[in-house]
Chain A
Amino acid sequence: MATFFEAIIPHTLGSIAIGLSETLFAEVDRVERLISRFDPTSEVSRVNRIASEKPLKIDIELHHLLLICQEYWRKTEGAFDPASFHSDCSGDFAQVELDTSKSTVFFKSPDLRLDFGAVGKGYALQCCRKILESLGAKNLLLHGGTSSILAVGGGLDGNGWRVGVRNPNDPKRPAFECEIRLHNQSLSTSGVIHADENESDLFDPGTGRPLSGSSACSVIANDPVQAEILSTAFLVMGRQRAEDYLLQNPDENLRVAWLEGARDGSPLSWIQCEATCA
């Protein structure tokens, strides 16, 4: 996932903190070995190399993840698309054929490849959450590259894990200008542009072109996969279509914030939520 993961473990879990963090990072590594398209030995690399030859029987977990992706690809009308063409970065998951009974995948185009960049961190967090549940760890914060966060429990004071969201237009302003508190929730933020770049690393799967503008979108959800997928998809869709999505796919657990990066006042406006934003 070419990013760093960090676990914040309260002192109350001190005696198992080392073992816990090792277990979580091992799980992140395991997910990476499964879905990284940069690791030539990963299952995804194998799929990318040969799935256009004939239907390929693949690992069941990857198949399951592809089904989840397919569902969001449909729901977001292609704004989220983990299948992209080598040639122009546009996407078309319609070219990916999944057969659930046989656990196979087939690419109808040889030019296609899978890229889990817009879901991988969320998926790793989801896997980690399963482990945390099985170990009974009830209060902990884990994040991937600060943009995808999993909060377990309600933080040190029990009032929620405190996280801040940066103003995309003015990254020097204190992050905690917009404070969000998370209780057993995930938060994912996607921005069109990072402060140190001049072209977006997000592409519109419809056109194959990088996104433009300066907005960012934060999604709070129970499920880290949902949070990560939607935060990127909403940016691709733009605010109006994102709002339409929320009307068509009502989900009371979702909180969606739109950051336009206005320089005065709070840059954050909530599309859906009751917010605790300063």
Chain B
Amino acid sequence: MSVNSGRRSFLKVAVGSSAIAVAGNASQSQRLQVAVVGTGGRGSDLIRKLTTFRDVEIVGVCDNYPPHLEHGIEYSGGAKGYENFSQMLEDAKPQVVVIATPLHLHEEMAVEAIDFGAHLYCEKILAFTVEAAKRIVDAANKKGTILQVGLQKRSNPIYEQAVSMVQTGMLGEITAIKCQWHRNHSWRRPLPVEKRHPDWERLDRHLNWRLYRETSQGLMAELGSHQMDVCNRILGTPPKRVLATGGTDFWRDGREVCDNVFCVYEYDQQNSEGKPYTVRVTYSSLQNNAYEGASELVMGTQGTLFLTSKKGLFYREETGEEVVIDASSGGDTGAVMVTSGKTLGLKNDPWAHRGKPLEIDSESDETRDALYSFIRKVQNEDRKTICDGAVGLENTATVLMANQAIDTGGGIDYPI
């Protein structure tokens, strides 16, 4: 439990998963043989989390960029390194493959790993196109592959808690969600060679794959995917429609993907009387201002949830406090309205609803817990992972429909 002394909170819950923090004892022979492809930023992280499980053995790491491969080998504690994925499969014969390569390579590698007979942890988003994601899911279903997609908010207890708070009606009817991932960050990696070097272009495409349309689906795939997954989960359904706009407006450095996107998604919901209504979700991502960072604001008729990966805050909607009108002062007390029988202070002050939140804290490492859960599912031969192929496919479609909307355009020109 975490204690936050010196700070007033009327109620505080700490959600955590210390029970699963200690991996079980396993003899050498039972250790699950895992291979990781893509040992860049994310792959290195995954390798390091995997090495903290006693019942996992990393039998191979693969990357075709030697400096990254070196890191992979080092972090895995000296696993065998490969520059070619097929060769790693053939030679290391892993039971589980973890894919952390750039997006455009997910399909090819996933299908190969599935055909080979390995279970699969594939980084988000599942694939570059919806069709490719379907092909992966079909292949996995046919083969009986245990598949988990790396949308690791699925393993974060704060979001678990948020979903149950919504389901139990603590927020009343959900009417809107506002999500954002705002950073002040170019997204461009510095390269080990200068621009005039003959290798610059090749290295730039390789290391800055996120910036080019041939290899990347941009901000919605890289950042928005996690948060749109949260929305689909909270609302219990994929969206039915999206309006979106975006552009390359600030970082004009040769990149092809948007550096800012704004989307409005529409979801079908039913109110407590079973009547249909629409919930709109706004999503934005910026790369030149970081105010409120990566967060989601879930708005309901009875309350609001402000969610981040390490802390959640729940605010009850204030209905206003009763105001006693002092007749001697002429009854002129400023912001006062008269309702049927009661006099309530107006609550249009933007800070009025921000008092005394219920705090939700987490002590858990969502990436480690996501892998831990996946490893357990593989050991138990359970295909119902916390983020399975169906979720991965739905997420891919949710994200890519926004990109399509941006490309298609729309809107009304001024003047009308």
Stretch at the interface among B16-24, B104-112, B387-395: B16-24
Question: Quick one: given A23-B189, A49-B18, A50-B22, are A61 and B75 in contact (CB under 8 Å)?
Answer: yes
B310 touches A22 (CB 8 A): no
Minimal beta-carbon separation of A48 from chain B (angstroms)? 11
Indicate the member of A39, A49, A56, A57 with the most B CB atoms within 10 Å. A57
Which residue of chain B is the closest to A13 with respect to CB atoms? B190
Kindly identify which residue among B52, B185, B363 contacts A57, using a CB–CB cutoff of 8 Å.
B52
Interface of A is mostly: helix
Indicate the member of B2, B49, B67, B188 with the most A CB atoms within 10 Å. B188
A54 touches B22 (CB 8 A): yes
Minimal beta-carbon separation of B364 from chain A (angstroms)? 6
Kindly identify which residue among B18, B22, B186, B190 contacts A56, using a CB–CB cutoff of 8 Å.
B22
Task: State the CA gap A178–B263 with chains docked (Å).
Answer: 56
Indicate the member of B49, B51, B52, B362 with the most A CB atoms within 10 Å. B52
B18 touches A135 (CB 8 A): no
Task: State the CA gap A59–B50 with chains docked (Å).
Answer: 9
How many residues of A sit at the interface, in one of the four size bands? 20 to 34
Task: State the CA gap A58–B23 with chains docked (Å).
Answer: 11
What residues of A have a CB within 8 angstroms of the CB of B192 in the complex? 134-136
A135 touches B362 (CB 8 A): no
A22 touches B51 (CB 8 A): no
Kindly identify which residue among B54, B75, B190 contacts A135, using a CB–CB cutoff of 8 Å.
B190
Task: State the CA gap A16–B53 with chains docked (Å).
Answer: 39
B186 touches A19 (CB 8 A): yes
What residues of B have a CB within 8 angstroms of the CB of A23 in the complex? 189-190
Minimal beta-carbon separation of A110 from chain B (angstroms)? 14
**Residue A20 is within 8 A (CB to CB) of chain B in the complex:** yes
B191 touches A135 (CB 8 A): yes
B362 touches A40 (CB 8 A): yes
Minimal beta-carbon separation of A20 from chain B (angstroms)? 5
**Residue A68 is within 8 A (CB to CB) of chain B in the complex:** no
B51 touches A19 (CB 8 A): no
A57 touches B54 (CB 8 A): yes
Minimal beta-carbon separation of B18 from chain A (angstroms)? 7
What residues of A have a CB within 8 angstroms of the CB of B363 in the complex? 40-41, 45, 49
Task: State the CA gap A16–B192 with chains docked (Å).
Answer: 10
**Residue A103 is within 8 A (CB to CB) of chain B in the complex:** yes
Which residue of chain B is the closest to A101 with respect to CB atoms? B77
A40 touches B67 (CB 8 A): no
A residues 207-240 in Cβ contact with B at 8 Å: none
A-B contact pairs, 6 of them (CB 8 A): A40-B363, A43-B52, A46-B365, A56-B22, A57-B54, A60-B76
Chain A residues engaging chain B, CB cutoff 8 angstroms:
15-16, 18-20, 22-23, 39-43, 45-46, 49-50, 53-54, 56-61, 103, 134-137
Q: Give the top 9 A-B pairs by smallest Cβ distance, nearest first.
A: A19-B190, A40-B363, A16-B190, A41-B365, A59-B48, A20-B190, A19-B188, A135-B192, A57-B52
